Chain A
Amino acid sequence: MIDGNQAPVSSRADKAAFLIAAGLFALAGVVAWDAAHLNAAVATYSRVGAAAFPYGIAAALTALGLGTVAAAIKGEFPDREELELHRVGWILGGLIAQIVLLGFAGFSIATGVLFAFTARGFGGKPLWATIPIGIVLSLILYLVFSKGLELGLPQGPLERLF
């Protein structure tokens, strides 16, 4: 924000911040494990092989994780808003539906479902009304981009009609 407001410092340690730190340690661990794995598999001919940079990143991520723990203990994390996760659930559900449908139903139907679920997540009209709208919209986009700009979008029964 423009007036430079910092989050009020609370004495309460922030649980979510510890989870973030744990995530950073885990990421550092995976990167370092993978780098170690590389060295075992292929002998590196130079001192600065494929593993050096990952080790550096893993070390930095570990340090940042420690910094996050320190910030969490000091309560330096910004205040956050309450989340309405059911809305997020609708949108992610739409994405998963799109991924599942894409293979056999084609671009338009899969993306139409995503459109409807996203609209629902924002409190839009019921699905029976929005899914057809989404499919028509996606089909128009499909025609424009696949015929006009030769993008190779996944085809389904609807796309094969054209």
Chain B
Amino acid sequence: MDSFASLLHGLSVAMQPGNLLYAFIGVTLGTAVGVLPGIGPALTVALLLPITFKLDPAGSLIMFAGIYYGGMYGGSTSSILLNTPGESASMITALEGNKMARAGRGGPALATSAIGSFVAGMIATIGLAFLAPLVVDLALSFGPAEYFALMVLAFTTVSAAFGNSALRGLTSLFIGLALGLIGIDLQTGQARLAFGIPDLLDGVEVTTAAVGMFALGETLYVAATASRSPDKIEPVRGSLWMTASDWARSWKPWLRGTLLGFPIGALPAGGAEIPTFLSYSIEKQLSQNPEEFGQGAIEGVAGPEAANNASAAGTLVPLLTLGLPTSATAAMMLAGFQQYGLQPGPLLFTSNPDLVWGLVASLLIANFMLLVLNLPLIGLWVRLLAIPRPWLYGGILVFATLGTLGANPSAFELGMLAVLGVLGFGMRYFDYPVAPVIIGLILGPLAEQQLRRALAISQGNPSALVETPLAIGIYVICALIVVGPLVWRMVSKKPLPVLASSED
């Protein structure tokens, strides 16, 4: 009942008129930016992060939650109508949804994805409210060794488990870790990799890195391959509403997707890719018309889309309770907390209960607003898709540099943006995943801090890292994640069915 009381209290915070307004602005902006082709929730949050600088922390985090969920709704719209998934978790939606749209069933595809997202978001947010306090209790007993082990786990899953190649994923991660070294070492006060440049002493701004690598890198890549990838928007023909048979075929996948997405997202190893792919293959097996899969099956949109949204709420569990981002979007949320000097973790629940519970409750409100905003107004958002590409990408870069300059109005910061953009472009071109760079950049310094703390307590004895059963268990899981797929490939000569897909 404790969670319930806290959640009610959170609702009373989130229902204050000012906060409702922030939530509304957040969901509207989030949908508008998220619907732009190729822009997923992580980039939506990164682009909009700097504009919340001057708001008060509670209001801006509520706006953020709205942007986060809005970006997810908007992302599904562009995935379905344009087949441009902004991130790997929406690839399934793009696959089946776009086929539906081409068959003239774009309306029901959008509807099942929006309603499924709503159902999943509601259930998963309530799950978050009940699970988070339990994890907080557990986390209070964690020492630096456990935290370090959890971060190693997050590194492993983010880089090695997804994508085609563990080599490329790990390379991305270590590039991120190297970028994370830049700046003043907090424990000894020495500047590392700053080369005497004062602007580098504070390290690489996470938002600059995310905007540079995602927005600029993607823009450069799209430009370089533009003439070969003509965009084709599928008009929403026919009825927007789902028929009785659509409902009958959708509601079970929604619930199953939620049940897959939330727990997997909530694991510190989470991520949204595995539950969406799992949901897709389960729906395919359970469906009475499996032949429709690959041709536009509504179950194939409903299930994965629910799984995607549920896992997004799930990733907030490790983020809020442990300070551990397990997806690119969660990393951007962490950057949002850090810009106010707030460190998510067990202590935040006791030191700032209003803020945490206000945020959780505002997710529920954002979900309501999004359902209202998306279904009747879908025609408006679709029109955003029709912006010609020169204007669209010109606008994206204007916004990207606006955000970067808003965070730090200096030409140096723009230079960083350009350098990181070129890096992101190169990585995109050679099929290196970009998300591990951002995770490495943001989590690397935290991991180093925990490692050194653990070793300082043990006076340099490295066995302290593997002294507790929990830490040992986590390292075993890491080893399984790295070795498991290799063994599978050797035994079956085929990639894992669930993961047989590239990041991006």
> Do A and B associate with each other?
yes
User: CB within 8 Å of B: which residues of A?
Assistant: 1-4, 6, 16-17, 20, 24, 27, 30-31, 34-35, 38, 41-42, 44, 46-50, 52-54, 57, 60-61, 64, 67-68, 71, 76-78, 80-81, 83-85, 87-88, 90-92, 94-96, 98-99, 102-103, 107, 111, 114-116, 118-125, 130, 134, 137-138, 141, 145, 149-154
- Which of B54, B167, B414, B495 is in CB contact (< 8 Å) with A102? B414
22 examples of A-B residue contacts, CB within 8 angstroms:
A2-B91, A31-B178, A31-B193, A44-B188, A46-B456, A61-B174, A64-B167, A80-B430, A84-B226, A92-B220, A95-B414, A99-B411, A115-B394, A115-B395, A121-B223, A122-B390, A123-B226, A125-B390, A137-B395, A149-B54, A151-B54, A151-B402
Q: Say whether, besides A4-B501, A96-B418, A145 and B402 are in contact (CB < 8 Å).
A: yes
Stretch touching chain A among B4-12, B14-22, B339-347, B447-455: B447-455
Q: Say whether, besides A16-B430, A20-B430, A87-B226, A114 and B401 are in contact (CB < 8 Å).
A: yes
Chain A neighbourhood of B397, CB < 8 A: 91, 94-95, 114-115, 118
B460 at the interface (CB under 8 A from A): yes
* Interfacial residues of chain B within 22-67, with CB under 8 A of chain A in the complex: 50-51, 53-55
CB–CB A57/B177 < 8 A? yes
Q: Say whether, besides A84-B225, A88-B220, A153 and B171 are in contact (CB < 8 Å).
A: no
Chain B neighbourhood of A153, CB < 8 A: 402, 405-406, 409
Interface size on B, residues (CB 8 A): 70
Chain B neighbourhood of A151, CB < 8 A: 50-51, 53-54, 402, 405-406
**Chain B: which residue is nearest A31 at the CB level?**
B178
Chain B neighbourhood of A98, CB < 8 A: 401, 414
CA distance A154 to B190 in the complex (A): 31
B302 at the interface (CB under 8 A from A): no
Q: Give the distance to chain A from B285, nearest Cβ to Cβ, in Å.
A: 17
CB–CB A120/B390 < 8 A? yes
**Chain B: which residue is nearest A121 at the CB level?**
B223
Q: Say whether, besides A27-B178, A60-B174, A80-B429, A48 and B406 are in contact (CB < 8 Å).
A: no
- Which of B165, B389, B417 is in CB contact (< 8 Å) with A95? B417
CB–CB B185/A141 < 8 A? no
**Chain B: which residue is nearest A61 at the CB level?**
B174
- Which of B174, B393, B411 is in CB contact (< 8 Å) with A118? B393
CA distance A47 to B464 in the complex (A): 14
Q: Mark B422-453, 1 if CB is under 8 A from A, else 0.
A: 10010001110000000000000000100110
CB–CB A4/B495 < 8 A? yes
CB–CB A124/B394 < 8 A? yes
* Interfacial residues of chain B within 148-200, with CB under 8 A of chain A in the complex: 164-165, 167, 170-171, 174-175, 177-178, 181, 185, 187-188, 190, 192-193
Chain B neighbourhood of A27, CB < 8 A: 175, 178
Chain A neighbourhood of B391, CB < 8 A: 119, 124
CB–CB A71/B167 < 8 A? yes
**Chain B: which residue is nearest A152 at the CB level?**
B409
CB–CB B501/A150 < 8 A? no
CB–CB B394/A141 < 8 A? no
CB–CB B185/A130 < 8 A? no
CA distance A17 to B426 in the complex (A): 12
**Chain A: which residue is nearest B411 at the CB level?**
A99
CA distance A78 to B433 in the complex (A): 13
CB–CB A83/B398 < 8 A? no
CB–CB B501/A50 < 8 A? no
- Which of A35, A52, A81, A91 is in CB contact (< 8 Å) with B225? A81
CB–CB A83/B390 < 8 A? no
Chain A neighbourhood of B170, CB < 8 A: 60, 64
B329 at the interface (CB under 8 A from A): no
B208 at the interface (CB under 8 A from A): no
Q: Say whether, besides A46-B460, A88-B425, A114-B398, A150 and B193 are in contact (CB < 8 Å).
A: no
- Which of A67, A78, A122 is in CB contact (< 8 Å) with B393? A122
CB–CB B409/A154 < 8 A? yes
* B50, B226, B388, B430 — most chain A CB neighbours (10 Å): B430
Q: Give the distance to chain A from B459, nearest Cβ to Cβ, in Å.
A: 8
